[in-house]
Structure formats: structure tokens, C-alpha cells
Structure 1
């Protein structure tokens, strides 16, 4: 019989799971869901907010909702998941709802960042236009080849 997978799921502040005899691990990345069995080739991928699933030595399923991270397989039997945040649980539907909330929060944060970036860009363009229109601020613009002193 092939040795099991050594699974470790960790956040920056704690180790959530350290299991020396997982039978299988399932996760998903940008290309879709995938499964890992003992003997898998070395592998590295980025995980979005999602639920990582595994079966322990007794065949029982376990779950971890994680907020995005790195998934690696080394040596055919060592699976490491380093994530920003994670929550263990046995109720898959609750964890999937939590992941949906994480994804929605990420979309909202991205949207807010794009709005802030657009505002900064528009303000910079307005300031440049004002300086060029007035002519009085032309000396304040740095000429090519000049540095800040």
C-alpha cells in the first residue's frame, strides 16, 4: 500500500491542519478543481478563496475554507497550503457560503481600489491641465533630464 499524503494547512499565525496520513486532497485554482493522490508529481499553484477538501486515513471527509493562498505538492506525498486565513469545519455548505462572502469582499475591495485609482489619475490630469493652461505653473513641471533637488 502506498503511503498517505502529509497535509499541512497554515496561515501566517497558526497551523490549522497537520495530518500525516491523508488519502486524498481536493482544491481549485483559476483553471478549475483538481485532486491530489499519493505519488503526484511536484506541483505549485495559486488558490483563490475556496474550500480545500481532504480525506483522512479513516476515509472521513474534512474541509477548510481558505481566503486564497499557495498550494504545493513535493516529493509525491507532501501537500502544503499556505493561506491568508482559514476556517476548519465539517459543514460544507456553511464553508462554501463563507467562501462566497470572501469572494464578494474581494470583488468589493478590487472595485474600491479601481475607483480610488481612477480618482487619483483624474486629479493628476486635472492638475497638469491647470498648470499647462495657466502657464504660471510651467516652471513647476520637471523638465526632461532634470531631477528632484
Structure 2
């Protein structure tokens, strides 16, 4: 099987593999040769794959995994950090990915709150001036 891990800026991993393990919101799963075509969104996690007897890892900041008709696996993610030191990836990189994702979630929530407040003010002003046909 061919594995390709890509970010918006580069191809991080491109290699032949014998198996892959990844994680989506429903949990961990594996892919072996002959797997049916498949599409899923990935959680912030570490993907691992075997090439021969050796295991390799890549920390992923979420993303999309596709198993194509030809059995090739493509992972598209915002950020990927490959490495063979699982402790470092788990401790440092995943922690950073998770904190960045949490910060983005807070920013999105605050942005939506600001937009809703602006809409409420516009609607209340429209109601005040409804009898005059003016918006100020």
C-alpha cells in the first residue's frame, strides 16, 4: 500500500507500508492491504504504520483520511510532525496541537458571539425605527 501524508504546504510522508493505525472520533482503527474504499475525519492523534518490521509515527492535527479504489491511503491534515520517538510526539506535539485546537475553538465561539450581538443590535434598531421607515 502507498501512504501519503500532506499538509497545505508540503508532502510530509510518501512511502510504501504494510499496515496503518489511525484515530477518528469513533476511536482507533486499522487498515490492511485489500481494505475497502474509506473516508473519515481524523482526530488530533498519532497515526502509526509499519514498513516491514519497523513502526513509524506521525502526529496529526486532525485531518481527512481516504483509502482509494487502488488501496492507496492519503491523509490531508493542517499540520503533521513525523518521528520515531513516540514519547516526544505524544507528550510535546500532541499537547501543542490540542491546546491550539482549544484556542481556535474559543476564538470561533467569541467571533460567533460578537456576530450575534451585532445582529441583535441591528434588529433592535430596526424595530425602534420600524414606524419611521429608517435605519440609523
TM range (shorter): 0.7 to 0.9
Residue 80 of structure 1: aligned partner: 74
Kindly indicate whether the alpha-carbon contact (under 8 Å) linking 2:40 and 2:64 is maintained by their aligned counterparts in 1.
yes
In the alignment of these two chains, the number of paired residues is 135
Question: 2-side partners of 1:7 and 1:28: how far apart?
Answer: 16
Normalised by the length of structure 1, the TM-score is 0.79
Aligned to 1:144: none
C-alpha separation in 2, matches of 1:64 and 1:137: 63
1:60 aligns with 2:54: yes
- Aligned-residue offset at 1:134: 5.8
Quick one: which of 2, 5, 30 aligns to 2:25?
Answer: 30
| SS, match of residue 33 in structure 2 | coil
CA distance in 1, matches of 2:123, 2:69: 57
The alignment yields a C-alpha RMSD, in angstroms, of 2.1
Task: Tell me, in whole angstroms, the C-alpha distance in 1 between the residues paired with 2:126 and 2:68.
Answer: 58
SS of aligned partner of 2:36: coil
TM-score by length of 2: 0.85
Q: What are the ranges of 5 or more consecutive residues in structure 1 without an aligned counterpart?
A: 142-149
Secondary structure at 2:42 match in 1 = strand
Give the corresponding residue for 2:2.
6
Say which is worse superposed, 66-75 or 128-137, in terms of deviation: 128-137
- The structure with the largest alpha-carbon Rg is 1
State the 1:85 CA deviation.
Answer: 1.3
